[in-house]
Amino acid sequence: MNRKEEVTCISEAQEQLSLLASYQKSKQRATDTSVASLKKLGKETLEAKYETTYSSHVYENPDEIKSREAAIDEKWVELDNLAEAKKAVLDEDLAREKEKERLRLMFAGQAVEFIRWTGDQAENTANTQFGFTLEEVEAYKTKLDADHDALRKEAEAKKTEYESTFTAMTEMGVRLFSFIYIYIRLFSFLYIYISSYFLFIFSFS
C-alpha cells in the first residue's frame, strides 16, 4: 500500500485503480467472513461459563482476546486509510494523464490546422494576380501590404496558440517527437517568406 506505482498513461492509472478496487472488495469479504467469524468466536469464548454445583469456570484471560480483536480493528483502519490515500494519488495520476492526452489531441489539432492554413495562404499568395501593367502592379501593392499584415497577425495568433499548448505539454512531461514541433515552426515562416518575396519585388518595381 505504501508503494507508489509509476503511472505514465491513462490505461496504467485505470489498471491501478481497478486493482485497488479489487483489493477493497477482497478486504470487505474478509471483514464479512473471516474477521466476523473470529469476533464471533471471541464473543462466544468470553461468554462461555462452565458451572457445576461445586465449581465454575470462565476463560481465564479475556484481555488477550480483547487486545487481539482491537489489534485487528486497528490494522483494518490503517489499511483503510492507506487505501484511501492510494486512491487519492491514483485519481490525481488519472486526472494528470487525461489532461496530458487532452493537450496532445489539442496540439495535434492545432498543428494540423496551422499547417493546412499555412499551405492555403502560401498557395493563395503564389496564385495572386498583380495586374498586367506597371500601374496595376503598383496599385496592387497597397492591397498586398494590407493582406500581408493581416496574414502575419493571424499567423502569430495561431503560432502563440500552439506554442502555448506545446509549453503546457512539456511542463507536464508529455512525450512528443521534437521534429513535429520543428516541422510546424518551419511552416509558420513559409507564408512569410513567400509574401515577403513579392513585397521585395514590388519594392524595386
pLDDT tens digits for 29-77?
Answer: 999 999 999 889 988 888 887 776 666 777 788 888 889 999 999 999 9
At 196 the pLDDT is 54
**Is 2 inside any structural domain?**
no
Of 77, 97, 117, the one marking the end of a domain is: 97
Q: Which residue has the cell 485487528?
A: 72
Model pLDDT, residue 147: 78
Q: Determine the 3-state secondary structure of 1 from DSSP.
A: coil
Q: Please state, in angstroms and rounded to a whole number, the distance separating the CA atoms of residues 155 and 144.
A: 16
Classify residue 1: in a domain, yes or no: no
Q: Is 5 a member of any domain?
A: no
> Which residues form the domain of 71?
10-97
Which positions ≥6 away from 114 have C-beta within 8 Å? Answer: 158, 159, 162, 184, 187, 188
Residues of the chain with pLDDT below 50 are 179, 200-205
Runs of H (alpha helix) within 31-133: 36-47, 62-126
The DSSP call for residue 34 is I
Evaluate whether residue 76 is within a structural domain.
yes
Per-residue model confidence (pLDDT) at position 60: 82
Averaged pLDDT score across all residues of the chain: 81
Give the list of residues 6+ apart from residue 5 with CB closer than 8 angstroms, or none.
Answer: 12, 16, 90
Say if 109 falls within a structural domain: yes
User: How remote is the C-alpha of 196 from its chain's centroid?
Assistant: 41
Give domain status of residue 166, yes or no.
yes
pLDDT attached to residue 116: 83
Query: Nearest to residue 196, comparing CAs of 133, 129, 148?
Result: 148
**Which of the listed residues 79, 97, 115 is the one where a domain comes to its end?**
97
pLDDT the model gives residue 75: 93
Q: Hey, what's the cell of 28?
A: 470487505
Q: C-alpha distances in angstroms, 163 versus 43, 52, 72, 152?
A: 68, 90, 55, 16
From 69, 97, 125, give the residue that closes a domain: 97
Look at residue 107 in the predicted model and tell me its pLDDT.
87
Return the closest-CA partner of residue 194 out of 135, 144, 143.
144
